[in-house]
């Protein structure tokens, strides 16, 4: 199947561009096991790369023309621009992600002397919250790095991806997505301190268990969602707390410190938002400790508590995600379940005993369809490596 996919991509590249054989690159999507909406609050996250992602077949050109095509957006056709015109263009739609990488890599001093032909194909469900945009950014970055024989520290490439998201696309997101996708390691989660970028790999021993991704099939557009509103509420809480404690981010507070000082946050709603940021960060740190002890049941409880906090204190779940997660909690063989990603639709994850996977999918799927009126989609995920060339 996999070899067949690579052959299909290669022949599609050849048919489109008539430019011989390309080189093939891959960047994964990511799920965040725990630690949601903590990244921009200076806290910890615990993501891993998955084996779904974005493929790019690419070859250098002799002129300075860039031609991009996505098999996921065939109706857009080949999108063309030159290396001299790397400005954001609404008409260029999805191609603004690779264009932003070209622009900011050139601005960072990397020599990209000619144009490229690139065919993209992603098997991450669009708008599901598994970070297809960061996957496109990182596959483009690694492709440019290899094609033009550049020497780029991987964390610098990760930071360029984040810059594209923030300054070129205009989504005020944190660094977790690009970091997990750039730095992923098979069989491991990454505990990442979003403030310092200190990180630690943690083996995830899921003996006889699988990670199930549950897609609500409710599309969510991050830029249009309440994401920026939540960020503003956390900034407000931080400013008010700084009148009594010397901190640069909510992630620096323990639960006890928060409880002692939360009275300075005037709005009850803003207080709830800050509570989630503080408590979720502590849960994420505890999650690593439980995994190191091999206590997957304790890890699962923290995962469940994360969802409850996202539902009640941060209010970013919605009926679709809550229906999936609450149905998952009722099933036999479930260690834990929660929404993952920004929320407002997108995906949830569940850790399920391998021998219960089929009945889990059927039962949760039926409950969801009965209540929501349309189907959820389920994927069995494996934890894979970060962005790379496929040799």
Q: Nearest CA to 230 among 343, 97, 70, 383? A: 343
What is the per-residue pLDDT for 223?
42
Prediction pTM value: 0.89
The answer to whether 25 touches 387, Cβ cutoff 8 Å, is: yes
Q: Which residues pair with 280 in a beta bridge?
A: none
CA distance 326 to 355: 20
How much is the pLDDT for 207? Answer: 82
In the three-class reduction of DSSP (H, G, I as helix; E, B as strand; rest coil), residue 321 is classed as helix
Structure tokens at 297: 């049941």
Q: How far is CA 154 from the centre of its chain?
A: 17
Return the closest-CA partner of residue 285 out of 364, 343, 202. 202
Say what the pLDDT of residue 225 is.
Answer: 65
Return d(Cα 146, Cα 74) in angstroms, integer.
Answer: 26
Give every residue of the chain whose pLDDT is below 50, as ranges.
Answer: 223
Report the C-alpha gap between 216 and 128 in whole angstroms.
8
DSSP output for 249-284: SGGG--HHHHHHHGGG---HHHHHHHHHHHHHHHHH
Structural domains of the chain ordered from first start: 2-202+385-390 (3.30.230.10), 204-381 (3.30.70.890)
Active site residues: 177
In whole angstroms, give the CA distance from residue 72 to residue 231. 31
Residue 147: how many CB atoms within 10 A of its CB? 19
Q: What is the pLDDT of residue 224?
A: 53
Q: How far is CA 41 from the centre of its chain?
A: 16
- 226, burial (CB in 10 Å: exposed 0-12, middle 13-18, buried 19+): middle
């Amino acid at each position: 199947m996999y070899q067949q996919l690579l052959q299909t991509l290669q022949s599609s590249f050849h048919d489109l561009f008539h430019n011989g054989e390309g080189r093939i690159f891959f960047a994964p999507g990511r799920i965040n096991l725990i630690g949601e909406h903590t990244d921009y609050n200076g806290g910890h996250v615990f993501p891993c790369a998955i084996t779904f992602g974005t493929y790019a077949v690419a070859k250098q050109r002799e002129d300075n023309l860039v031609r991009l095509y996505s098999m996921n957006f065939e109706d857009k056709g080949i999108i063309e621009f030159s290396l001299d015109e790397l400005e954001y263009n609404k008409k260029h739609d999805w191609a603004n992600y690779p264009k932003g990488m070209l622009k900011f890599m050139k601005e960072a001093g990397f020599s990209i002397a000619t144009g490229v032909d690139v065919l993209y194909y992603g098997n991450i469900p669009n708008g599901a919250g598994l970070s297809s945009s960061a996957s496109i950014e990182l596959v483009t970055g690694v492709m440019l790095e290899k094609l033009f024989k550049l020497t780029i520290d991987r964390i610098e490439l990760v930071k360029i991806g984040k810059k594209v998201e923030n300054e070129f696309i205009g989504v005020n997101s944190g660094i977790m997505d690009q970091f997990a996708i750039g730095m992923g390691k098979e069989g491991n989660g990454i505990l990442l301190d979003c403030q310092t970028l200190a990180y630690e790999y943690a083996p995830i021993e899921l003996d006889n268990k699988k990670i199930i991704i549950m897609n609500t099939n409710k599309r969510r557009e991050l830029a249009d969602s309440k994401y920026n509103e939540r960020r503003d509420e956390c900034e407000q809480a931080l400013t008010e707390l700084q009148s009594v404690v010397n901190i640069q981010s909510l992630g620096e507070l323990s639960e006890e410190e928060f409880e002692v000082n939360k009275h300075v946050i005037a709005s009850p709603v803003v207080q709830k938002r800050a509570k989630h940021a503080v408590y979720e960060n502590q849960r994420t740190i505890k999650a690593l400790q439980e995994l190191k002890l091999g206590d997957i049941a304790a890890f699962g409880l923290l995962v469940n508590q994360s969802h409850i906090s996202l539902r009640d204190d941060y209010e970013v779940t919605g009926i679709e995600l809550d229906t999936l997660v609450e149905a998952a909690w009722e099933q036999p063989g479930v260690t834990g379940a929660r929404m993952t990603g920004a929320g407002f639709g997108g995906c949830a994850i569940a850790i399920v005993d391998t021998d219960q996977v089929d009945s889990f999918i059927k039962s949760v799927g039926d409950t969801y369809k009965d209540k929501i009126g349309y189907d959820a989609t389920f994927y069995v995920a494996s934890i894979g490596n970060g962005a790379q060339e496929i040799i």
